[in-house]
């Protein structure tokens, strides 16, 4: 019986103990002998990657890790299978997580233009066409072309990270197939459409030039664009050397608000990083990319290294500060009696309250219903923290029993004392 009571006490203690997500920052090391990168949770738990993570990757990635290292990988929010020695090469936004049951650490990356021997047969069906960028002052937009095959217009350059909405004007062409993907899922597209939702976008352009006439083909007005300066766009194609489809990729990444994973900043196509300012202070530049390691407000200026392209600017806020909550009425072990209050440490912190695994949609900052609660704090940058609180009701029934019991015990003592005195015989 005593053993069962001890086990029950330990179970209640574990359930009621306050916990939070032990999020550990992964450390990065470059392995010069192999040209690979290694990401450590600790000295025993790490993953070796053929590419540097935390950025946009334009190639396949090979991961290697030990049998005892627990690894998980998500693509666009969905779990994907990962094995040591395997390749990852699908377009999309990924998050790699290393955990050991106590701590866990994550790092994100984006695969933009995969290339692999595994898809060599598929690549043989296409002729990859580089995109050529120029800038139209009259239209105040970039003109982006697949050589002399096809042209479209956008307000940002290729491969750009932007904090603004993106607008694309593309002429209709019976030989051109345009598909837009957002975070790996196909999205609707029409000429003149504006994209503003945060995410990673890939615009696939496939121009099928097989079995067509030698005559020149002229396309008329751009659909959905009424500016007189863009009333026509002639697309002149020399088809003498085309016998397969031609493919090109235009991509961009839209951010909205503070970021907790955006740390590697790569320049757009045809640009180099000119300067980086953090809270108004100029930062040193050592590589073609910039690695943001401190939280704060950044302003990154890019200058063109080909042709006459305008300067391009990116503004973003890096925030990796995990939101913390304070609680009124909560004692040791995360146990509260009658009620408890929630206090946020940051204005942009949002709180979700779960009771028995069910989200409490109408919960306030003061809780008075008994139960086991899981409270999750998150901010706009995606940082999160979690707590467990066990709210118990004071047992007033015990108090009601104490008084009568005390009276009965006192009366019994008095009666017994009187009985003893009456029965004392002196000899």
425 falls within a domain = no
**Domain count along the chain:** 3
103 plus 164 within the same structural domain? no
| pLDDT value for 11 | 38
Share of the chain above pLDDT 70, in %: 75
Whole-number Å distance between alpha carbons of 206 and 213: 18
pLDDT of 278 reads 96
pLDDT digits (tens, 9 = 90+) for 61-81: 889 888 778 888 998 888 888
Yes or no: say if 190 and 176 are a contact pair by the CB < 8 Å rule. Answer: no
Q: Tell me the per-residue pLDDT of 87-119, one tens digit each, with 9 for 90 and over.
A: 787 888 899 999 887 788 899 888 876 544 434
Last-in-domain residue among 114, 137, 167:
114
Q: What is the pLDDT of residue 145?
A: 93
- Within a domain: 161: yes
82: containing domain: 27-114
Strands 132-136, 141-145: pairing is antiparallel
Entry pTM: 0.60
Co-location of 131 and 244 in the same domain: yes
Among 140-149, 335-344, 361-370, the range scoring the smallest mean pLDDT is 361-370
Backbone φ and ψ of 372, nearest 5°: -95, 120
Most confident of 143-152, 212-221, 225-234: 143-152
**pLDDT at residue 385 greater than cutoff 60:** yes
Q: What is the model's pLDDT at position 268?
A: 93
Task: Reduce the DSSP state of residue 172 to 3 states and report it.
Answer: coil
Number of H helices, E strands in the chain: 3, 34
Q: Are residues 65 and 14 in the same domain?
A: no
Q: Three-state SS string across 78-113, please? A: EEECCCCCCEECCCEEEEEEEECCCCEEEEEEEECC
Domain match, 90 and 135 both: no
Cβ atoms of residues 353 and 359 within 8 Å: yes
Q: How far apart are CA 126 and CA 244, in angstroms?
A: 6
Whole-number pLDDT of residue 407: 67
Q: Please write the tens of the pLDDT for every residue from 260-306.
A: 888 888 899 999 999 999 999 999 988 888 889 899 999 999 999 98
Greater model confidence, 214 or 329: 329
Task: Pick the last residue of a domain from 114, 149, 176.
Answer: 114
pLDDT of amino acid 22:
62
Same domain, 145 and 234: yes
User: Based on the domain organization, do 100 and 146 belong to the same domain?
Assistant: no
Strands (E), 345-382: 350-355, 358-359, 366-367, 371-378
What mean pLDDT do residues 369-380 have?
A: 91
Residue (of 332, 371, 379, 334) closest to 353 by Cα position? 371
Question: Over 60: is that where the pLDDT of 244 sits?
Answer: no
Structure tokens at 31: 């392995």
Coil, helix or strand at residue 209 = coil
Between strands 70-75 and 46-49, the pairing is unpaired
Higher pLDDT among residues 122 and 32, named by residue: 32
Residues 49 and 90 in one domain: yes
């Amino acid at each position: 019986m005593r053993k069962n009571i001890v086990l029950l006490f330990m179970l209640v203690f574990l359930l009621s103990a306050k916990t939070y997500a032990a999020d550990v920052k992964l450390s990065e090391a470059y392995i010069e002998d192999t040209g690979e990168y290694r990401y450590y949770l600790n000295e025993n738990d790490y993953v070796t990657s053929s590419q540097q993570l935390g950025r946009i990757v334009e190639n396949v990635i090979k991961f290697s890790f030990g049998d005892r290292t627990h690894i998980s990988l998500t693509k666009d929010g969905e779990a994907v299978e990962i094995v040591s020695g395997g390749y990852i090469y699908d377009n999309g936004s990924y998050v790699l997580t290393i955990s050991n049951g106590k701590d866990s650490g994550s790092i994100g990356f984006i695969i933009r233009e995969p290339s692999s021997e595994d898809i060599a047969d598929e690549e043989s069906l296409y002729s990859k066409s580089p995109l050529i960028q120029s800038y139209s002052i009259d239209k105040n937009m970039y003109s982006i072309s697949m050589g002399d095959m096809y042209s479209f217009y956008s307000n940002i350059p290729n491969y750009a990270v932007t904090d603004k909405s993106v607008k694309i004007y593309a002429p209709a062409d019976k030989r051109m197939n345009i598909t837009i993907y957002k975070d790996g899922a196909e999205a609707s597209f029409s000429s003149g459409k504006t994209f503003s939702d945060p995410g990673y976008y890939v615009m696939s352009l496939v121009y099928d030039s097989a079995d067509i006439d030698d005559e020149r083909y002229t396309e008329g007005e751009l659909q959905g664009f009424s500016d007189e300066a863009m009333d026509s766009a002639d697309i002149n194609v020399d088809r003498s050397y085309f016998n397969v489809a031609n493919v090109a990729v235009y991509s961009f990444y839209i951010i909205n608000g503070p970021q907790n994973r955006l740390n590697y900043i790569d320049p757009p196509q045809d640009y180099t990083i000119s300067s980086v300012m953090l809270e108004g202070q100029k930062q040193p530049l050592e590589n073609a990319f910039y690695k943001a390691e401190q939280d704060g407000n950044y302003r990154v200026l890019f200058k063109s290294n080909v042709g006459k392209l305008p300067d391009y600017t990116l503004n973003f806020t890096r925030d990796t500060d995990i939101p913390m909550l304070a609680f009124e009425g909560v004692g040791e072990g995360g146990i509260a009696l009658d009620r408890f209050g929630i206090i946020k440490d940051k204005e942009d912190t949002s709180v979700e309250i779960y009771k028995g695994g069910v989200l409490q949609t109408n919960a306030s900052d003061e809780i008075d219903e008994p139960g086991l609660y899981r409270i999750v704090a998150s901010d706009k940058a995606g940082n999160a923290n979690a707590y467990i609180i066990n709210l118990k009701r004071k047992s007033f029934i015990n108090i009601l029993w104490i008084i009568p019991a005390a009276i009965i015990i006192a009366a019994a003592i008095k009666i017994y004392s009187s009985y003893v005195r009456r029965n004392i015989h002196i000899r």
